[in-house]
């Protein structure tokens, strides 16, 4: 139960990284140009990189992404999935799927429809939904993007990484030795296909295993049950 509670809420408020300098072969450059020009060539390559901030600001509004997530807390590892759908009319859905110890799967969904946020769950083959009232609940679905935007002016280029058939650009923010964040973005869409968080005792690696740009079906954003009032804990 401790794992179940931790993972549900860590995915809902998911905080969405290994500095590598731009790889330019000095041997190849020096064979083609003078040693004095090597630094100029490296600088030119850096300046040609897409801006992390521009990529986020120009991200496409309509997409479907299915992420595989590996969460490590201390020495314990858990595998889960996070699916996201977004439409151009500001509708959003996020499903977190967690494999429980008894072999069953727990699914918790966040819907943003008509400026309202709903949280839906499935328990014992019964689905229920309730309207989210607190800012934490309402903003939970956008936490990974918000985290990237918070640090967009402080990140540095890290590497190119192939994710779901896309050669992404990766940027990282290192707060200190115990806190490291990295995001890998598809330059053609501005969408985050990889997000990596490392803190003192926790490591979360999230990568897209399915990825499609385009308007999702309207049925995706239909709540599976009539929303109730917020449950008490």
Q: CA 207, CA 192: separation in Å to the nearest integer?
A: 9
Q: CA 162, CA 4: separation in Å to the nearest integer?
A: 31
Backbone angles phi, psi at 27, to 5 degrees: -60, -40
Q: CA 180, CA 130: separation in Å to the nearest integer?
A: 34
Residue 232's SS3 state is: coil
Class of the CATH-defined domain 2-12+50-228: mainly beta
pLDDT per residue as tens digits for the range 66-78: 999 999 998 888 8
Confidence at residue 178, expressed as pLDDT on a 0 to 100 scale: 80
pLDDT per residue as tens digits for the range 69-104: 999 998 888 888 999 999 999 899 999 888 776 667
Nearest to 108 by CA among 178, 204, 4: 4
Q: CA 231, CA 54: separation in Å to the nearest integer?
A: 40
Confidence at residue 17, expressed as pLDDT on a 0 to 100 scale: 33
pLDDT per residue as tens digits for the range 12-33: 334 333 323 223 333 333 334 3
Domain boundaries, the chain: 2-12+50-228
What share of the chain in percent tops pLDDT 70?
Answer: 69
């Amino acid at each position: 139960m401790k794992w179940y509670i931790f993972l549900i809420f860590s995915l809902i408020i998911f905080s969405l990284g290994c500095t590598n300098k731009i790889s330019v072969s000095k041997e190849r450059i020096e064979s083609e140009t003078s040693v004095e020009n090597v630094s100029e060539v490296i600088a030119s390559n850096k300046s040609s990189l897409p801006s992390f901030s521009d990529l986020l600001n120009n991200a496409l509004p309509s997409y479907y992404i299915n992420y595989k997530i590996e969460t490590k807390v201390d020495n314990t590892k858990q595998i889960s999935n996070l699916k996201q759908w977004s439409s151009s009319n500001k509708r959003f859905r996020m499903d977190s799927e967690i494999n429980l110890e008894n072999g069953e799967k727990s699914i918790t969904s966040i819907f943003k429809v008509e400026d309202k946020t709903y949280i839906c769950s499935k328990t014992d083959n019964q689905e229920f939904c309730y309207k989210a009232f607190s800012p934490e609940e309402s903003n939970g679905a956008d936490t990974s993007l918000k985290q990237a935007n918070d640090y967009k002016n402080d990140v540095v280029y890290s590497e190119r990484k192939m994710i779901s058939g896309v050669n992404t650009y990766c940027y990282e923010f290192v707060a200190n030795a115990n806190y490291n964040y990295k995001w890998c973005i598809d330059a053609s869409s501005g969408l985050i296909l990889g997000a990596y968080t490392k803190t003192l005792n926790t490591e979360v690696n999230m990568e897209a295993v399915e990825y499609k740009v385009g308007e999702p079906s309207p049925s995706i954003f239909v709540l599976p049950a009539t929303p109730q009032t917020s449950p008490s804990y």
